[in-house]
A and B are shown apart, each in its own frame.
Chain A
């Protein structure tokens, strides 16, 4: 377990002589710094560190007339649910953080929900899109769980309605990771919405995570002759699947969700994803993302990932809640979070009764050459 603490900047302290510093607030972060999704975890951590430095350089966060410095306490969960539970316990009981951001994967966010509820520490997830992150199996809202992203039912519906209504597709095939709740959940929601919109799902085939050869299941898809193939998976598997699909002579449109966007996607997939579309949380080249994109690039020398923007908005939600609550007490922050209504980089975030952003727009992105080009904004209702 690696511990990274952004200590308070000495330079920042020197700058803020005039401001009255009331102390330091500890914000916890956890995510995968190693393992398969390390790329996204590292991008998140880089972002929250950058933001903490920025807040502190301005003299800290003003909460009810007092200025607080921000300290980020970060742990690596290796993309593993057991590890996630361990590090969240540590964040809550040992480091005594007042709020947690991160928890990018639903598989890690769901098991830590009871811990946060019990200890009354609010958590704002960046990209955990499964409904169960905020609403437990018993149908009750997890009081201390929030998120900055839209949910899988919404995302699945956007993808399905876009394919059926906008592109006029009638026959869809689904290629999913059978042992990943993100993938199976999204498939389920896509299927329901696609059929509701008058289309037919002609093939549902799956693979187990860690597999590299998809030719057998993809051949099954080819035989079903769909006109669009939905792949709710993460970028590495998407790249492998796309390459092998093209090798099998499958030329149909590939469609995906927010597991796709990554700096590595296109370099891994070569030209096999040309023309493919995916649902995203923001337009990478848009005006709203520009200041952060530039700052990140300048500081780290590479492009910000989707997770950078999402965790940015998650942290902004926490800071906003602190300021509106005029308190750094976790319970007061939780209360303020339930009434969040702000404009962030990835869109308008208004927290609804299930602690999810309500009516957040999705962005359709098309892969053109080596670029991810914004295609259109697409919001869907029932």
Chain B
């Protein structure tokens, strides 16, 4: 029982990071109908922004966190302008977008390897806020790291605010309308270009937050972007294009992974994760909470 609770906590802690990352994939997909594989590289840049803001600029942690989020929001928008807008203007097929995204990802990853280097870095514990330092919290046999709690809370707050924004503000409604039908909403006076920039900025900002949290929990390294692929799977699992779906998919995937590696073996973890993904795609191609594929076509 103790072990079960501990594994549950382990799973939730990974799940909340997956969720922050998955939302970025989902948002862009809901508007533009393609999987932005460069998102992982933006997350990686976020971790580096946070790391260097903290260690080089010497700003407090909360400021470093916002610098990272703003920095990646800007990067995501620039990426959209430079890489995807020319394709949109030419009405290129979606395949071109995906290939461009992969190219952008490889470009960003290798730029970091070439300039900063491949060696992993750790957030220096003494530069983190005092409440993040020190021993993990213990309740009986259950132990929870302070960073894990911070990650869970940050992810919950960010995602809660995002949902409020999408559901209760005019801009959020504009995003929803564009996701539903870009042409019709444009005719109603919603500027699709503006919505696309907005979506990339939000996804990018969350990517920065996710990057910093991931870097704090593990390490900061250029190959991080490959690992974020798991969050893409979570987004597909939950239903690409749906925010609650991305959340649910992330938590479920993380729990499955944790319990499989905790009770069976780590070798079976990815096996199970992918079997479930394939099973889901066969039975319900749009994911747990996704809209029907026909609707989106």
Binding site for B on A (CB under 8 A): 34-36, 38-39, 178, 205-208, 210-213, 215-217, 219-220, 222-223, 236, 239-240, 246-249, 264, 267-268, 270
Residue of A34, A35, A216, A239 ringed by the most chain B CB atoms within 10 A = A216
What's the nearest-Cβ distance from chain B to residue A147, in Å? 27
| Contact between chains at B3 and A236 (CB < 8 Å) | no
Q: Count the B residues whose beta carbon is within 8 Å of the partner chain — how many?
A: 34
Contact of A267 among B113, B122, B218, B269 (CB under 8 A): B122
Which residues of A sit under 8 angstroms from B154, Cβ to Cβ? Answer: none
The chain A residue sitting closest to B5, CB to CB, is A219
| Contact between chains at A220 and B3 (CB < 8 Å) | yes
Q: Does B13 contact A (CB under 8 A)?
A: yes
| Contact between chains at B148 and A247 (CB < 8 Å) | yes
Contact of B143 among A35, A39, A210, A248 (CB under 8 A): A248
Which residues of A sit under 8 angstroms from B138, Cβ to Cβ? Answer: 249
Q: Known: A246-B136, A249-B143. Contact between A217 and B266, CB under 8 A?
A: yes
What's the nearest-Cβ distance from chain A to residue B194, in Å? 37
Which residues of B sit under 8 angstroms from A34, Cβ to Cβ? Answer: 113, 118
Which residues of B sit under 8 angstroms from A264, Cβ to Cβ? Answer: 119-120
Q: Does B115 contact A (CB under 8 A)?
A: no
Tell me the complex Cα distance, A223–B1, Å: 10
| Contact between chains at B219 and A215 (CB < 8 Å) | no
| Contact between chains at B122 and A270 (CB < 8 Å) | yes
Which residues of B sit under 8 angstroms from A35, Cβ to Cβ? Answer: 118
Q: Which 4 A-B pairs have the closest CB atoms?
A: A249-B143, A247-B145, A216-B261, A215-B10
What's the nearest-Cβ distance from chain B to residue A212, in Å? 4
Which residues of A sit under 8 angstroms from B148, Cβ to Cβ? Answer: 247
Which residues of B sit under 8 angstroms from A205, Cβ to Cβ? Answer: 265-266
Q: Does B243 contact A (CB under 8 A)?
A: no
The chain A residue sitting closest to B259, CB to CB, is A216
| Contact between chains at B136 and A240 (CB < 8 Å) | no
Tell me the complex Cα distance, A249–B259, Å: 19
Known: A216-B257, A216-B258, A268-B120. 16 other contacts (CB 8 A): A206-B266, A212-B227, A216-B259, A216-B261, A216-B266, A216-B269, A217-B266, A219-B6, A220-B3, A220-B262, A239-B219, A240-B218, A248-B143, A249-B138, A264-B119, A268-B219
Q: Does B2 contact A (CB under 8 A)?
A: yes
Tell me the complex Cα distance, A207–B258, Å: 12
| Contact between chains at B136 and A213 (CB < 8 Å) | no
| Contact between chains at B265 and A206 (CB < 8 Å) | yes
Q: Does B26 contact A (CB under 8 A)?
A: no
| Contact between chains at A212 and B219 (CB < 8 Å) | yes
What's the nearest-Cβ distance from chain A to residue B154, in Å? 17
Contact of B218 among A38, A178, A212 (CB under 8 A): A212
| Contact between chains at A268 and B266 (CB < 8 Å) | no
Tell me the complex Cα distance, A246–B145, Å: 9
Tell me the complex Cα distance, A13–B150, Å: 63
The chain B residue sitting closest to A36, CB to CB, is B118
| Contact between chains at A178 and B266 (CB < 8 Å) | yes
Q: Does B103 contact A (CB under 8 A)?
A: no
Which residues of B sit under 8 angstroms from A220, Cβ to Cβ? Answer: 3, 262
The chain B residue sitting closest to A219, CB to CB, is B6
Tell me the complex Cα distance, A112–B166, Å: 58
Q: Known: A36-B118, A208-B266, A247-B136. Contact between A213 and B143, CB under 8 A?
A: no
Tell me the complex Cα distance, A344–B35, Å: 57
